[in-house]
Each structure stands twice: as C-alpha cells, then as structure tokens.
Chains A and B, each alone.
Chain A
Amino acid sequence: MDEQRAEYIKLFKEESSEYLSKLNKIIVELEKEPDNKKITAEVYRIFHTLKGMAASLGYTEIETISHDLEEKMEVFKEGEKRKVDADIIDEVFKGIDRIESLLATLERQEKTGEEASPEIGDMPYLEILLKEDVSLPAARAAVIIQRIQEKTKIESVDPSYEEIKSGNIGRILKVRCAEPEKIIDLVASIDEVETVKFEDKKSSGRTSPSGIEGIRVNVNMLDRMQNLVGELVVTTSQLSEIIRSFGEEKFQGVLDLHSRSVKELQEVITKIRLVPLSLIFDKFPRYVRDLSRKLGKEVNIEIFGADIEVDRSLLEGIGDPLIHLIRNSVSHGIESPEEREKLNKHRVGKITVSAKSVKGDILIQISDDGKGIDEKEVILVAFKRGLVEEEEMESLSKGEILRFLFAPGFTTKEKVDKVSGRGVGLDVVRKLVRSVGGSVNINTEKNKGTTISMKMPLSMSIIKVYLLGLDNQLFALPMTFVDETLTVSADSLSRLMGKEVMLLRREILPVYRLSDILRQRSSSNGNQHAPCVVVEIENDRFAIVGGTFRGSMEAVVKPLPSPIDRIKGYIGITMIGDGRPCLILDLPALRYRRSYENTGS
C-alpha cells in the first residue's frame, strides 16, 4: 500500500469515527424530537459526507450503507411533512453499527493484513459482492475461495484468511489470482454471489480529503515529550537553586527567561495532550437508550461539561468506570416505569452526567433519580460478610456505611441485588479512579437516587501538591484529596469516645497524625498553632495534623524505582527545588491499608 493511501485511510477512519459518534448522539435527540428538521438535516449531511469519503477510498459497503441511509433521510428533511419514526431510527442505528464494525475491520486489516492487503490495493483483482441474505458470509467466502483454488492459483485475499476464520468480514471479498478473467464466470455462477467485478485500481482516480487542520502525532512521542519537559522543569529549578546560592545577578536574568520558556513549553505540551470529554460522553446517550430499551425502562440522560478537556491518559482511564456506573444506574438504580408511577415519580427516569473543573481538578458526577441505596441493608450485608462487628453497627456514620459498597465482597450479583442492586463493580471503579490519582464518593438517599462523584487531577504526569514536612523528611500530598488547609490551635482538638477529633464549623472531624498515617515514629509534638489539612476521600472526611507546611508546587510525577515500587501508599516520586526526591502520598491507599491506632500523641 502506498504511503499516501495509508494516510488517507487513517484520516478516513478518524473522521468517520467522529461522525459516527456524533450521529449516535444526535439520533438519540432526534428520537425524542422527531420533527426537529435541523437534526434531520445534520444526519442527512453526515451520511452524505460519509458516502463521499468511503467512495473515494473504494469502501463499497460503507458507501452503500451511507448512500442508502442518506436517501432514506431525505424524505424527512426540511419542507417535508413526514416525521422521523422508530423504524428509520432503528435502521440508522443498525447502519451506524455496521459501519463501525467495518471500520474496526479496516483497523485490523492494517495491523494484521499487511502481507495480504498491500498488493490487493494496487493490483488487479476480482471483487466479489455476496448477496445480502447470505448466512455465514465468512464461510461462504471460504467456499468461494476453495472453488477458485480448484481452478487457479490464488495470490492473496482480502479480508485475510485469518479474518475470514474469525468471521469478521463484510459482503465484499477481493481475490487476486492468476488468470482472473478465466474464473470470473465460475464465480458469477455461484448462487450466493450478487456481482463479481474485475477491478484494476490503478486506473481509478482517488480524491483527497480536504480541510486538514492538524497532524497526527504518536501518543508515545507525546509521552516522551512530556517526560523530557518534566526533566527540564526539575533541572531548571535545581539550576535556579544553585544560582541563587552564588548570588550571581548575571545568570539570574537568563535563568528567568529560561524558566519562563520551560514553563510555557510545559503548558503547551500539556495542552496538546488534552482531548475533550465528549469523545466518551457522546457515546452515553446511545448506550443508555439501548440498555434502557432492553430492560424495558424509560430513561433520559443529560450531559454537562462534555467540552471540558482532560489529559488523554485520563480519558482512557475513566471510560470504563463511567460506563460501569451508567450501567448500574440504568439497570439497578432507575425503577421500571410502572414502579416509578406508583412512587409518584415521573415515568421517565433521569441520569445526569456532569463534569466540571474544580481548582485544577476534574469532578465527574453521575446521578440518577432512582431507588437509591438502603443503608440498613448495606449494614446487614456488611455484617453477614464479617465486614463489621455487631457492636460497631450502631455507631457507624452514613459515610462509613456507604464505604462498604467499595468492598470487593459487594460485587457479587445476588448480594448486590439485595442492596437495591448498587455496588456492581464499585471496587473496580474505585481501583480505576485511584489509578489515575483520584478518589470516589457515593451519596445516596432511599427512593431519591444516587450520586457518584469522581475527583481526579486533569493530568497524571504533573499534579499540584502540598509539601508536608515530618521531622527531616518531605512528603507531597496531591491537592486532589485536600478540601482545605488551616491552622488549628492545640486546644481545639478534643477527644470523643477515645478518639481525637476537632470541631470545624459545627462539623466534628476525626483527626489523624501524619506520623500515624505514614506509620513512622515522630519526635515532633504538636505546636501550639499546628497546620492542619482537611481531606475528603471516598466518603470519608478527616483532618491530618502533625506535619509542617512547606508550601505547594507542581510536581512532575515519576514512577517509583524498583524495588520500592512494591511498597503501597505512594503514587510516585517527584524532585523538589534543591534536587531532593520526595514521595507523593497515595492517601486512600495509606489511609485504608490497615487500621492504625488513632490515639493522638
């Protein structure tokens, strides 16, 4: 395959996927407003565009599907009285799915079929179109190949033998063989074959897609670039430390310029890596539509903040957890229309997905107005599974109770269904969210609904941290976990049921010593005015005291070197200004790795 064609194919796939994802989204809207002529026109236009693109590359099946749907949409366009109906919507969805799977095959062809398809792109070949109603097209393709093989030598086939075996083929089979003109009649006589053409690609022109505004960059390159900039940031601050100790004014000016450039470079690279959440959010309406239909429920989904941009790695990390949560909401949260009416709720359930930036982090919330989670049942299941002692059951706070939902034991289906179905894979969700440096919170009210909040840093490679000192060591605490910082006097700490607590604006917060969390012995005692960090993670709010504030910084996160990477409780390591390494705390992992004594000092 020549390079130019390869490039066209890549572009085609990218652009088509974008169109399909857009279609998936707007078709769901169109289903709700069947006389919305604007959306109708948009759908029509997209199929028209797809058709043209596919035709330029010779992807006949995509072309045919798009053309067909374009024609079908035409009768609903502006000036026409007819409203879009469920049948056409279904047909459009079917078409989208088919095109999607064809695009996926293109991808595979590129990866695996390099030996088979390259020549087929340019050499004369037989293009065999199977009839639409052929059952098991891949098996039929195998039969046809066998027939041809009996008469002549086959050079290559497209889709490849592997793809045929995996069953992943469309209606078109391309065969390059010796003396194709002699077997064309044989192939045409096969019942299941609709048409067979002798194709010579070289003579057919190709049109190039226009309006390219960007270039494709390998993500690995971006990762490397970001790492290098990270190194630059670190060495720059080391340099500035050294120069400051020399007190040389001459260097200072250059260094300031240099630092500014590095900072800008870092910002640019961070921006390059950003992608809009809409890339995954746009899939949700279709997903909710299909799932709710299957379950006989009526559910609307509202999406806010899809235009917020996040780091590519984060986007990849949160796609699955979000789908998990939406599935939970549709299948277990939202009641059936009949049940909802009995409860005096609107027949149609509502799921809201919202994203917003909060102090440099991203907060994604998924809410539903379904049946919520019954705390009492959660406690009961927790007790049965030995997660809680009988004596403790009375004194648990709501937050503590809901935290049981994160226990792996709560994922089994029967148990979960008893707990009004919530909790499916919540431990998995938590794990995934933690892996991108974030934390999860659940809020729920019986019969009102459930909200799951995920807070994560925008990027995993550079995060904002507070520096906390303990004796002679420095630790970095990601700001994502921090709700506020304040100074407390020693007498505002008190004891409640043997545990240290503090009163903050009428809220009683448990207090933990930094040394206890880190499981280190510390010689430092609480000063009269001690700094205090209020953190909020996973349905848990508490204060950390006993450290000293050493400011805040943007930390370039480096993975822990082996063998200390096996120690749990640290996200990674960062360098501070003077070149010293500093561990970045994985607060949820430290806090919940085991119980430690909360006795104060």
Chain B
Amino acid sequence: MSARILVVDDAIFMRKMLADILQKGGYEICDEAGNGSEAVQKYEKNKPDLVTMDIIMPDMSGIEAIKKIKELDSEAKIVVVSAMGHQSLVVEAIQAGAKDYVVKPFQPSRVIEAVQRVLKL
C-alpha cells in the first residue's frame, strides 16, 4: 500500500503541483489543507503517513500546526516546504518537530527524495 500524504499550503497552485509530483511518485494524496488549523483537523481525521507543510499561511502558521500535530501524534512525519529566505523559520519548524524540508522553487526529485527519506525513518 502506498503511503498517504496530507498536503498543506495556502496556495492552490502549490498544492496542485505538490500533489501531482507526489502522485507521480506513487504516493496517495489523502487530503489537502489551506491553513494551519485546517491541517491539524485533517491530520486528526485522516491520520496520514506524512504531511508536507508550508510555513507562512493565514489563520495558523505552519510552525503552530507542526506543534499541534506533534501533540496529537509525537511520531508524526512532517516535511516543511518553504520559500528561500525563510531559513530561520525553517530552523524553527525543525526544532518544533519537522523531519526535513524542501525549498521552493523545488525540483520534483527533491520533493520525492525528502519524502522517501522521512518515511524511512
């Protein structure tokens, strides 16, 4: 059974791109979320194998969402997807419990690599 992934990003465009890449890579997109609180809800509902998480989002930031998800499930596997120039936020996200990160704009192979790596942990 292929791993189930929850894609979180406030831009529909980015969600679409990520979903396409991941599906092509053989993963199943179980759901999508457009902000942090939605991500937490959908994590609880779907119990995905992995989450790709944007950081700067309205409502609840990715970092907050990571913390909340970690509270729900300390084993949660989260990969941060963030734009260049937000390095300190990425560091914060990792300290909050994200397992890896991918920098936008990304190459599809990078996304797949990161996801594979984290799923293997």
Contacts and interface: CB of A to CB of B under 8 A. Distances in A.
Interface in B90-104: 90-92, 94-95, 99-101, 103
Interface in B107-121: 113, 117
A143 B88 contact: no
Contacts of A167: 87-88, 91
Nearest to A145: B94
Contact of A139 (B87, B113, B117): B87
Interface string B50-87: 00000000000000000000000000000010001001
A136 B94 contact: no
Chain A interface size, as a band, is 10 to 19
Given A138-B87, A191-B113, A146 B94 contact: yes
A165 interface: yes
A143 B99 contact: yes
A146 B84 CA distance: 21
Contacts, number: 40
Nearest to A137: B87
A185 to B, nearest CB: 15
Give chain B's interface residue range (CB within 8 Å of chain A).
Answer: 10 to 19
Given A143-B99, A143-B100, A138 B91 contact: yes
Contacts of B100: 143
Contacts of A143: 94, 99-101
Interface in A130-178: 135-136, 138-139, 141-143, 146, 164-167
B99 A139 contact: no
B94 A142 contact: yes
A143 B92 CA distance: 11
Given A146-B99, A191-B113, A139 B94 contact: yes
Contacts of A165: 88, 91-92, 95
B101 A136 contact: yes
Contacts of A136: 84, 87, 90, 101, 103
A148 B66 CA distance: 20
Contacts of A138: 87-88, 90-91
A10 B103 CA distance: 37
A167 B84 CA distance: 12
A128 to B, nearest CB: 16
B86 to A, nearest CB: 8
B120 to A, nearest CB: 11
A167 B92 CA distance: 11
A146 B94 CA distance: 8
B84 A164 contact: no
A142 B90 contact: yes
Contacts of B94: 139, 142-143, 146
A167 B90 CA distance: 10
A146 B80 CA distance: 14
Contacts of B99: 143, 146
Contacts of A135: 84, 103
B105 to A, nearest CB: 10
Contacts of B80: 139
B20 to A, nearest CB: 21
A143 B95 CA distance: 8
A141 B117 CA distance: 16
A143 B80 CA distance: 11
A141 B99 CA distance: 12
Contacts of A141: 91
Contacts of A142: 90-91, 94-95
A166 B90 CA distance: 11
B83 to A, nearest CB: 10
A249 to B, nearest CB: 75
Contacts of A139: 80, 87, 90-91, 94, 101
A140 to B, nearest CB: 8
Nearest to B86: A136
Interface of A: 135-136, 138-139, 141-143, 146, 164-167, 191
25 contacts: A135-B84, A135-B103, A136-B87, A136-B90, A138-B87, A138-B88, A138-B90, A138-B91, A139-B87, A139-B90, A139-B91, A141-B91, A142-B91, A142-B95, A143-B94, A143-B99, A143-B100, A146-B99, A164-B91, A165-B88, A165-B92, A166-B88, A167-B87, A167-B88, A167-B91
6 closest pairs, A vs B, by CB? A139-B90, A167-B87, A142-B94, A135-B103, A142-B91, A136-B87
